[in-house]
Amino acid sequence: MKFNAKDLALLARRPSGYFDKEGKLKICRVVGDEKLIEPRERWCRLKGNLLFLMKNKSSEVSEVVILERCWVVEFRSKTDVSIVLKFQSGEPDLYLEAASKPDCESWAVALGEANSEGLQNKIQQLRRLIMEIKEERSSDEARQFLPSSQVDSLGEPQFTSIQRIANEPKLEFSLACKDLVAATRDRKLNTFIQVSVVHPAEHILTRYSSTEIVEGTRDPLFLTGVTFPPEYPIYEETKIKLTVYDVKDKSQDTVRTSVLPDHKEPRADVGRSFLGCTTFRVGDLVKSKEQQLTLTLRTSDGGKTVGTIEVNLVKMGELEDGETDHITTDAQDQKCALVRECTATEGISGKDNLPSLNAVLKNPICKLYRFPTSDNKWMRIREQMAETTLSFHVPKELINLHIKEDMRRNQELKDLGELAPHWDNMRKSVIAHCDQMLSMYQDTLAELGKHTGSSFKSSCSKGEKTLEFIPINLHLQRMHVHSPRLKDALYDVITVGAPAAHFQGFKNGGLRKLLSKFEAERRNTGYQCIYYSPENTAKAKEVLSNINHLQPLISSHADLLLNSASQHSPDSLKNSLKMLSEKTELFVHAFKDQLVRSALLALYTARPGCVLKKPAVPRNSAEEGGDVQHQDHPSHIKRQDSIPHHSEYDEEEWDRVWANVGKSLNCVIAMVDRLLEKDNVSNSKEGEKDPSAADCKVLHAGGDWYEQLYPLVITLKDCMGEVVTRAKQSMAFVLLQELACGLPQCLMLTLRRDIVFSQALAGLVCGFIIKLHTGLHDQGFLQQLHTVGLLVQYEGLLSTYSEEAGMLEDMAVGISDLQKVMFKVIEAKSEDFLPIITGRREHYVIEVQLPAKMFELLPQEIKEGKLLRMYPVLFNVGINEQQTLAERFGDTTLQENINQENLELLKEYYKLFTEKMPPDCLPHFQEQNDLKGLLENLHQNIQAKKRKNVEIMWLAATICRKLNGVRFTCCKSAKDRTSMSVTLEQCSILRDEHQLHKDFFIRALDCMRSRQTQGALNESDDPETGCLTDNKPTSRHFYPVALLLVSSHLLVVWLILSLALLLAKYQ
């Protein structure tokens, strides 16, 4: 082709605004994989299909490239910013390198659209769009000829809603093609269907989802269906456009199709070509007798027929007609490489879509599959992933409790009274550090209160300080299976990033190592403070908690007793006395511990000028106050002041003060008994003589009751107040020692532990609520819940190498701390169904609210408020390349110890289960294996210490499902390894429990792991991370497990080279 050189030179010197795009690129020619010369920087100007290359912006044009009969190849790695122009003529490829990734992507789009083929594709796209909306346009144009009054009378357009079950997807259908026509006879098609929606009100074509790619057949049957969630605005008048594409370049590593905006069709020159399209109305499908449409595929101009497409309406509760015998061998070998998902705004599907559950779950992402069974029937699978509002709700509630607890502790330290200079300076230092930590908690809570947007923390935010209490990528992964010959089944897995303090880092290890080191250091600080074991400090916190809980209750019951006495109500008096006695007994027994006595002595020694008096005969505190029914009258008790400061200290004084509470209670009980006995006698005598006189006697006796009980109740309150003052000060002194022995490490470890526990607790609360809703109609499960407790099994996929070893240590402690958590189910009194958290660091109670109708389904024990225990267990097996390094050159003791410890906990739970539960409580569809044999097999696999023994994970998960437990899967960010594990588990369940055809196992796995899953989201965005990704699989669909296993020979070579480089670097 000849050009006028002068005209081209003149065109190249036009002003910048004249060109479609211009900028600096490094350019050279490439033959094969070799560059002919090193890339040289050129100023490039693009106008139409002409690319001008110049040495600089003001120089003459040195070369002109005509962008015809060529295509653009862009490399998708994060670091690569280059693209290649390939020419059909066979001339050397043109290599172009940009300065940044965004610049590279914009050049790829501009160059791909520059040629005449790109322009022709645009024209065809616009032509198809015009054809689709012509009918709607004609009706709108007709309205213009009507008088304005008639136009007004028409009102807004009314659309027909689709009838459906409440909270089920509005519309679901499957797709299959037949007799597709290829461009050449010998070519085997690799096809997929893109689904677009034309909304009747807006007349806008919206790309919605796509099927997987089916390779090597002209009669593709697609396993991935299309589902429209409950909140999607779809009506009978809505049109669905189905476009069939043939994938030319199946290499997903070098061709990038996601650089286009959402409203643009991908170009044919980047790996796929248009075959045909068709359109149908939703109402036609819904109203069809056979619930099936057979549509003709035509080319863009509507002339040539290129095949047919079958659309089958899907209902999860109904069996699909027909068998799978027509699937050929070629179809069975087809691979899945492309799947899209649809996104809903609220709700989760089906039976579990209840108000209380909708308050917890939101933004579900839905996918629909159909897989053949071994007997050539179809099973249907609906896969859902949902966010949870608990990701932020639970941490905020927990931080609020921490703030209140720490403020109370700081006040108790200030109320210790006068201390010797050494101890007083220590107290001031502790309070100053605690105030700083309290301020940090308050700031974090304020920042979380400002958070808006997503209800989960993405993995790229795991290092943010303001979000360190929030779990990473907390989601519910649910698989709903409808099999032809088995009951419908739900399989839930909670996926979450490993609970760990990412912001604080892992330079010195995780909590498991840090706590052990800190405890050893505390033992060596006796010359500065008094050492109390972790058990004693935990006991001190428990005593303080009991005091704060019981004292106001006893005071209120005492007031009710006096009120009953003033009203002369025998029944009310008995009930009030019963409640007062029960709470006071608990109060008295709370101090049956040597720790309180020893702490009082230690506190006295910390007072200025203390003098100790050794008692002649030691006495047992348990004997002193154990039998509160046979004590002397409190009038004989000598009133004691608070702990003396400048006088002798009697170690037996605490026993007397403590026993006075029991004696006072006995006096109150004796007085009430006497009053009731006299009342019964007097009523019987006076009633026989004169009823009116008996009434007057009652009024007079009411005053006598109050007057006789009042001094005794006041004495009880005074004795209790004295005990509370002394006990609070002594226990606060114990906590002072704990803090003073390790400042500031103690507070930093507490913070780290709070962070890890917050992340773990958010996942646990979510898992419990989901499990409770799922098993609400299972009486065996509900009996197990209140009789034994709930098993919570965590599957860890962290390596024991580098930072992940620290994460595993954090995770192990956080999950172990969940044993302190108890659940309680209550009836909701409002429309707010979010759980309520109460308690303190050593003991939390989670109150789960249920609507009245659901609450009535619970056993009486749960309705009466019985606390439900949790049994968390963690089994970890590292599976990535870092674990290979740890196994060959590092240490895997941490993983082995964790697995062994949790195996013992699992055995303990199984023992309780077998002792308290009948054998028929196990799920009936999983009876093929014996639990005892599975436990023994798990024990053998843990003892074997085999490298990357994934059998441990599978056995632990199977045992958990058989014991009605809650399943968690965790890795660093709940993305790559987590999704691989979940999808493999789902397909294995389909194979083992629902008879998935063996020839379709890999294909089903590929479908679930397919990369392109965002649907309405931008294809270049990771739906879980919220970050721009290049070649990263999304949160739930990833590479096969085999890619994680590194060849041992290559690994050794790589390690030797790496060590050599490190030695050279640091020498």
Q: How many CB atoms lie within 10 A of CB 17?
A: 6
d(CA 384, CA 135) in angstroms, rounded, equals 37
d(CA 449, CA 452) in angstroms, rounded, equals 8
Residues 6+ apart with CB under 8 A from 587: 546, 550, 551, 554, 661, 720
Please write down the HEC assignment for all residues of 965-1023: CEEEEEECCCCHHHHHHHHHHHHHHHHHHHCECHHHHHHHHHHHCCCCCCCCCCCCECC
Give, for 676, the enclosing helix (H) or strand (E).
helix 653-689
Residues 6+ apart with CB under 8 A from 332: 999, 1000, 1003
How do strand 966-971 and strand 489-497 relate by DSSP bridges? Answer: parallel
Tokens 């030695």 identify what position? Answer: 1063
Tokens 């906590």 identify what position? Answer: 735
The type of residue at 326 is H
Residue 686 in tokens: 């006076």
Residue 920 · residue 927 · CB < 8 Å: no
Cα-flanking dihedrals φ and ψ of residue 306, to 5°?
Answer: -120, 10
d(CA 30, CA 552) in angstroms, rounded, equals 84
Which residues share a beta bridge with 241? 196, 279
Residue 408 CA to its chain's centroid (Å): 32
Q: Peptide bond preceding 744: is omega within 30 degrees of 0, i.e. cis?
A: yes
Give, for 292, the enclosing helix (H) or strand (E).
strand 292-298
Residues 6+ apart with CB under 8 A from 580: 554, 557, 558, 560, 561, 665, 668
Residue 104 in tokens: 């590279």
**316-321 long-range Cβ contacts below 8 angstroms, 24+ apart:** 316/168, 316/172, 316/350, 316/380, 316/382, 316/480, 316/482, 316/488, 317/482, 317/488, 319/377, 319/378, 319/484, 320/370, 320/378, 320/380
Residue 283 in tokens: 């109402």
Sign for the CA dihedral angle at 285, 291, 297, 302 comes to negative
Q: Is 1026 left (phi over 0), alpha (psi -120 to 50) or beta?
A: left
Q: Is 69 left (phi over 0), alpha (psi -120 to 50) or beta?
A: left
Residues 6+ apart with CB under 8 A from 935: 906, 907, 910, 959
Q: Compute the C-alpha angle 828/847/852, nearest 5°.
A: 25
Q: How many CB atoms lie within 10 A of CB 260?
A: 20
Q: For the chain, how many residues are written? A: 1067
Catalytic residue chosen out of the listed positions 971, 987, 1007, 1027: 971
d(CA 203, CA 209) in angstroms, rounded, equals 18
Q: Which 3 state secondary structure label does DSSP give 425?
A: helix
d(CA 1001, CA 989) in angstroms, rounded, equals 11
How do strand 378-388 and strand 475-482 relate by DSSP bridges? Answer: antiparallel
Residue 818 in tokens: 């969940």
CA-wise closest residue to 384 among 419, 349, 410: 349
Which residues share a beta bridge with 191? 214, 246
Active site residue 971: yes
Residue 897 in tokens: 């110890």
Residue 814 · residue 756 · CB < 8 Å: yes
Residues recognised as catalytic: 971
